[in-house]
Chain A
Amino acid sequence: MSVETEKKVIPIPQIGGKREPESNRRRLSPLWASLRRSPVGMIGLGIVCLLLFLAVFGSLIVPHDPVDGNLRARFMPPGFTSEAGVNLLGTDQLGRDIFSRIIVGSTVSVMVGVVSVLIAGSIGVLLGLLAGFFGGWVDNVVMRIADGLLSIPFIILVVAVSGILSAGLGTLILILGLTGWVTYARVIRGEVLKVREMEYVIAAYAIGQSRVRVMLNHILPNVISTAIILAASQVGVTILAESSLSFLGLGVKSPTVTWGLMLADGRQYINSAWWMTTFPGIAITITVLGVAFLGDWLRDVLDPNMRGRG
């Protein structure tokens, strides 16, 4: 994505290799240097930092109460001023300040993005590793289940699962995690297949290391950067999935504030109150953009081979 970074040769830090504590600083500074050379990466970092800040401290700095509205000021357009102050981005159907709700809504996006990607990533890496390493029936079972899950549209799959458990933020995170592992499993399996034929892996066997040791010490470290790149790209996908589900009424439930839910609320009123749908959507777009920018930069740094692709 970044036009700048493609032309430059960037020192590639080795992540997940042998641990040598004293080299921490040495490893971080080239990272920082490369970031400074990538404006897109910087923008991404900026957006992500702002998002994290809002997610943690947002509820302390909001201008209005995001949950209790002023029923006398319903459907007020952006810039509406009352004795309670300015509603910068207007108010919703219960007279709640949309700006404040967008700020508070960032918490859910961050939590969903981070936690469900962690869950999906862990499951996917583990299964991919097992499938690729052991092959045979393990591989067959994992990959057939993956095919099965992949051939049902993601949204429908989640819709069908979501009803089993009672709705809520925790459930949603779990669902997104439990259904999202397929991508990781497939990619990691492919990587493992490549790596396990490498000379140093064969050498490790030759010196008598056990299969589990080879897997953990020699194969895992070599595929983990791929997993990180993938995870970075999946954060955005997950945030979008959360908003779609909440929009369809299948995700997080009120009174929790989320952008997807705000869109669902506003959808009924788009003929008269465009601000209710416009601003939460912009918030989602900017967030996903930021995460994607940061992810692109990370990919350029971690994996020069993948640079410039997709």
Chain B
Amino acid sequence: MYGLFVNRMIQMVITLFIVSMIVFFMVRLKGDPISVMAPPTFNTEQIARLREAWGFDKPLLEQYTIFITKAITGDFGQSIQARRPAMELVMERLGNTYLLASCAALLGLVLALPLGVMSAVRRNSLIDVVSSAFAALGNAMPNFWLGLMLIIVFSVNLRILPAFGALEPAAFIMPSITLAVGTAARLSRVTRSAMLEVMNQDYIRTAYSKGLSNRFVLIKHALRNALIPIVTVFGLQLGWLLGGSVVVESVFSWPGLGRLMIESINVRDITVVQAGLFWFALSFILINFIVDALYVYLDPRIHYR
């Protein structure tokens, strides 16, 4: 158990290191921030002087060495645009993104579990067909388009929900729904098939035959045992939600990390891009770690591996 933990930690560090390399060189190869920063009326000489003043004329490898030695101590450098530490900007936005992703995850779970369980219990009933259709649509719709449609209906026509920002509780509703639909669609399918599989097992049949009430059997035994695939997919979906937030944040002008990333990439504020991607990667890796830990909790057999 302890060994497994240490092993995972080492893997995490290696992955983060690889991410830092990918990110660093990808972002640098894009070109230097100076050409985007400088006004269009600057002449070649003025641009060259700026580039030197900001240190972008040094060789890439040297820049990387400087970056990685500082990053180890948690210093991701100054934002070129804001003149404040890049990590500080990321931290300002992180909360909003986590909040949105959590709301969406919760909403997805709340939608998917009952839908999945019911369509497994009442197979081929109306509810099963409806939930199939929902899942198919949820997977096929571009989520940003769903967001735009919600804005047209609820902000433009009915004028009951705000079209931007995270300033009031009502502002959470549309982005959460937009983000949650895809997750709910996938999760409800997994729940359904996991439930079907478990319900065919002998012990559930035995439980039924012992006269336990229907609902009790379902919740206590079947769902508990179907949880492993559900947790796996849910874990994957959490990472997906973090990524999906990039587009949704852009549609709803949400002040989160995703929007900060897109804006920073657009102005080539590379220190912020590096710090932000680091957090995305770290969050994702931690989620995977927690999912793995949950396995052990849910399925005691994994101990012996």
Chain A contact residues, CB within 8 Å of chain B: 1, 3, 144-145, 147-156, 159-161, 163-164, 236, 240, 243-244, 247-248, 260, 263, 266-267, 270-271, 274, 277-278, 280-281, 284-286, 288-289, 292-293, 308-310
CA distance A147 to B21 in the complex (A): 13
Contacts known (A3-B129, A156-B280, A236-B140); A308 close to B193, Cβ less than 8 A: yes
Proximity bits, B80-106, A CB within 8 Å = 1, else 0: 000000000000000000000000000
Nearest first, the 8 A-B pairs at minimum CB distance are A153-B243, A281-B145, A148-B18, A288-B140, A163-B30, A151-B284, A151-B281, A289-B140
Q: How far is the CB of B64 from chain A (nearest CB, A)?
A: 16
Contacts known (A277-B145, A285-B137, A285-B142); A248 close to B250, Cβ less than 8 A: yes
Residues from chain A with Cβ under 8 Å of B261 in the complex: 156, 159
Please tell me if the beta carbons of A240 and B142 are within 8 angstroms of each other in the complex.
yes
Q: Is there a chain A Cβ closer than 8 Å to B69's Cβ?
A: no
Residues from chain B with Cβ under 8 Å of A155 in the complex: 243-244, 246-247
Given A151-B285, A267-B251, A310-B189, 13 more pairs with CB closer than 8 A: A3-B124, A151-B280, A152-B22, A156-B265, A159-B265, A160-B27, A247-B144, A260-B142, A281-B142, A285-B137, A292-B136, A308-B193, A310-B193
Please tell me if the beta carbons of B243 and A154 are within 8 angstroms of each other in the complex.
yes
CA distance A40 to B142 in the complex (A): 21
Residue of A nearest to B196 (CB): A308
Q: How many A-B residue pairs have CB under 8 A?
A: 148
Q: How far is the CB of B235 from chain A (nearest CB, A)?
A: 12
Counting chain B CB atoms within 10 Å of each CB, the highest count among A148, A289, A309 belongs to A148
CA distance A293 to B132 in the complex (A): 12
Residues from chain B with Cβ under 8 Å of A263 in the complex: 142, 144-145, 148
Contacts known (A155-B247, A160-B26, A281-B141); A145 close to B136, Cβ less than 8 A: no
**Category for how many chain B residues contact A:** 35 or more
Residues from chain A with Cβ under 8 Å of B135 in the complex: 1
CA distance A3 to B148 in the complex (A): 32
Sample of 7 A–B contacts (CB below 8 Å): A3-B124, A3-B129, A144-B15, A153-B239, A159-B246, A263-B144, A271-B156
